[in-house]
Structure 1
């Protein structure tokens, strides 16, 4: 409520502040630019029909009003208004001669020199272009606007829709571009549509690209094109219908690549054997695939650099031993700080030996630099095993265990191991026994203000005695205010915890 009042007050004061600056002849370019930049987030959202709110529209209108207020505000305001657009249609509004045919805007007459000058004046201000499909602009417009030079000569980020990605990409490519997505995720291309020529064109025009995202589509000659991007730092690759054998070898040779997201095929057709010292700069890896390729891929990644790993199976392995062959390779990465593992086994416990699930998990305990872990497979968790987990990760900040069914879970008192071993823990999802036996004394109070802020019980049980559970949690984590669970009764537990904080705050005031 208070934040809304502050924002409303800012909107009231902005015209007054502007008038005050003008009235006292204190115009300063940097100050005016800061005022306009403050309105940029809402102004950018206003161009997205599905995301914008009334406040965003008013924000854009307010910035336009500033542009019309004074010549001093004109350039800074227009720079923000035109920085990000989602269609070339606004450029057509400065042209006198356009028509609509079958719902698409077209240019039907020759553009006069004065109109070109005006169009280029605005086009030079565009830094981000994100095409929203379906477009209201006919494809012929791109060829006309880009006939002599790129449509947006100072463009930095290009998120091209399917229409541009397949036929009109050349009219947008300029040496200033560093980020490209083809096609942008508004619509997935069909598998029979080949984006290989578009990628090859991009490679020839912009070999210094820093960010590249390619959605799931057929891309012929992808290895040859990727080889050209020697300065690439971030690469996002969807699932491809066809893979070339040297696909991984080319990826591994990109020396500056620091972030990689990709999906590997089921078929074992990729070549790994000749890769040596692959991915020398890779810090973040998000990979989806099947056991064989996941295991082989992880074995060729440089072990001393990787810090952030997201690992997901396309289909959960039938045998825990198959999943273990992958998680066991994680011992190679002692520098890992963030780890997410999905679908290593089914989310539901089955009839396999209970110790297999713990064996699958054990290699992770050697990653003692972890700060964040998300793990979604069933486990047997006892007080003793909880102690092992807490002592293995002294730097952990976020710890999420997300399985649907648990083989065994520890009592709430086991959370004391996190108090002693994980002094930085702020977010915890962990299965516990929510029922506190009658007559059980609450845990000893924590002697310092542990920073745990959020706790979620990932075992689906209803809380029968919220006051006892709330007291136990409060004794362990004095700063804990937000608690949730998969069963009923957690709302009452959270309400009791908040009442403790209110009482303590009052005591501190009186003292």
Structure 2
């Protein structure tokens, strides 16, 4: 068949596809390519959902980078997203190769300006670098050769450098696993995460931080975990624009008070997270008792994890600031693992120091955070910390409190305490209240439910222990009949029944089940089903609350039908 102009055009297009150095006709609409690949933005998969790229897809993207310039930025961001090595990047240099001796990469030959330009092309727009592990070594000659390039800035647009686990071993010869990171100038770096710091990598970490600090002036978030030596801690305040600081100390760490004092020189610091592992100690030898010398003018969120005895030392050093609105205290997991789970309230004396420290911490928080909005205390499970009945009294003056939750402790609290908390609309802004388990004889009753519903108009989520023995069915029915106006906005109500086995015959009757269901349905019209059962409830209590929940739904349905019929009758008349 004779060759026509049409077949000639088709032949030319096929030839373009096969020719590796020319742009395929498929990529002629380059203006929409970057838009298409933007749907695969690596940031969208930040966290648990890291996108796993198929090998064939990876090769196709790599070929796209070679054939269409507009593919470089979005495709390279995917190609290097889960790098386990920097070798693919440096392999762009034709003279980069493995040395004939040992497992070391080096440079063998001249590095031309065109090679540097190509290296820049493939790294100039990479913003997220997640180095999973380091297994390759680089000769000092190669590192020095790259550092000698005046115009080379590796990853000039890099925003996040994430190394969750530094290698457990570290070579100290002519080869180096981590030295290429010193080629990162860090001018655009905003997030720096280094984990797994140990005795062999702490010197490298200190050197890297010291090198980056003068250049990485835009760093806003710094996350460090592992063996944080005094030298590493001294580097942190050098990141002058730091907003978020998250430091996790390994067991048996000695945390100097000077570290916190140096952090006060960070004027933009808004979030401070300190995690103290088992047996980590806060050294306050140079701090006088009652000497509150630390002032963070912009601090908004303070999260302390560790032994309450140690975290309370940090709180004692803080000066009050009205910007502090969120405080979270937690007991770290590895501390709980060192506590016998079989120990109950009978052995509470062993934890008296913990209880006293936690009570002192709550009192201190009420002082240093007058504008407190969120306060969460989580002491975990597997141990019993019995607090005093006046533990929460300092929180009465926190009028802006929106969320308060406490778990992992036992708190003697009665109707009188609940009334005191709500007196004068102190907790009028409260939206979520989660009280811990209580003890027999010192627990709230159904009256506390009504007090909270009336005094906390914004309250939507409520969890509390409840002593049902104080209100038998006839008393509960009488209390319900006296309530006319139902204005409670509570949607989620979780109740932990505080009774002993000797009361079960009185509280688990069908009459009591009906009375409780009618009371809750009448007083809380916006309640959502399925939330009554508390996670601390016994199996018998769980079944009982399920029955109550079922009856509440049935009563609500009957009441709706009744109102509908009466409405129809009024319309007909």
TM-score range, shorter chain: 0.7 to 0.9
CA contact (8 A) 2:256 2:284 kept: no
Partner of 1:265: 281
TM-score by length of 1: 0.72
Partner of 2:75: 78
Q: Give the Cα–Cα distance (whole angstroms) in 1 for the partners of residues 220 and 427 of structure 2.
A: 34
Structure 1 residues 338 and 175, CA gap change in structure 2 (3 angstroms): same
Deviations 1:398-445 (A, max 9, x none): 222234866632233421112111122222221113677344317356
Query: Does 2:304 correspond to 1:287?
Result: yes
Change (3 A) 1:85 1:192: closer
- Residue of structure 2 in register with 1:369 after alignment: 400
Mapped partners of 1:475, 1:165: distance in 2: 68
Aligned to 1:455, what secondary structure does the other structure show? strand
The match for 1:432 among 466, 484, 507 is 466
1:471 corresponds in structure 2 to: 518
After TM superposition, give the deviation of residue 480 of structure 1 in Å: 1.8
2:480 corresponds to which residue? Answer: 443
Identify which range, 303-312 or 112-121, moves more after superposition: 112-121
Deviation at 1:152, TM superposition (A): 1.6
Aligned partner of 2:443 among 409, 423, 428: 409
- Residues 73 and 125, structure 2, Cα contact 8 Å, conserved in 1: no
Q: 1:162 — aligned with what?
A: 166
Match among 410, 413, 423 for residue 381 of structure 1: 413
Distance in 2 separating the partners of 1:407 and 1:92: 71
Label 1:42 to 1:180 Cα distance change in 2 as closer, same or farther (>3 A): closer
CA distance in 2, matches of 1:328, 1:72: 61
Q: 1:260-339 counterparts in 2 under 5 A?
A: 260-262=272-274, 263=276, 265-271=281-287, 276=293, 278-288=295-305, 291=309, 294-295=312-313, 297-312=315-330, 317-318=352-353, 320-332=355-367, 333-339=369-375
Query: Is residue 152 from structure 1 mapped to residue 199 from structure 2 by the alignment?
Result: no
In 2, Cα distance between equivalents of 1:500 and 1:190: 65
Match status 1:455 vs 2:493: yes
- Distance, in Å, in 1 between the alignment partners of 2:104 and 2:439 is 56
State the TM-score, normalized to the length of structure 2. 0.65
Structure 2: distance between partners of 1:339 and 1:380:
19
Q: Which has the larger radius of gyration?
A: 2
Q: Secondary structure, in 3 states, of the residue corresponding to 2:226?
A: coil
Determine if contact 1:320/1:360 at 8 Å carries over to the other structure. no
Q: Structure 2: how far apart are the matches of 1:105 and 1:416? A: 73
Please list the CA deviations of residues 314-352 of structure 1 after superposition, one character each: whole Å capped at 9, or x if unmatched: 7755275454443332342211111123459995266xx
Query: CA RMSD, aligned part only?
Result: 4.8
Mapped pair 1:216 → 2:216: no
Offset from partner CA, 1:71-110 (integer Å, 9 cap, x none): 8995785387469545446647878887899xx9967876
1:130 alignment partner in structure 2:
130
Aligned length: 467
Distance 1:124 1:131 in 2: 17
CA deviations 1:461-500 (Å, max 9, x no partner) are: 7994555444333223222224131222244444555566
1:398 and 2:415 correspond = no
Distance (whole Å) between structure 2 residues aligned to residue 393 and residue 448 of structure 1:
19
C-alpha contact (below 8 Å) 1:405/1:459 kept by paired residues = no
Q: How does 1:14-163 map to 2 (within 5 A)?
A: 37-40=38-41, 44=45, 51=49, 74=71, 78=75, 81=78, 84-87=81-84, 88=86, 91=89, 117-133=117-133, 135=134, 137-138=136-137, 143=143, 147=147, 148=149, 149-160=152-163, 161-163=165-167
Moved more, 241-250 or 104-113: 104-113
Q: CA separation in 1, counterparts of 2:71 and 2:162?
A: 28
Structure 2 unaligned blocks of 5 or more: 1-28, 168-175, 336-350, 568-573
Residue 146 of structure 1 deviates from its aligned partner by 6.0
Kept in 1: contact 2:136–2:177 (CA 8 A):
no
Q: 2:242 aligns with which of 232, 254, 259?
A: 232
**Cα shift at 1:394:** 1.1
Taking the aligned partners of 1:192 and 1:72, their CA distance within structure 2 comes to: 39
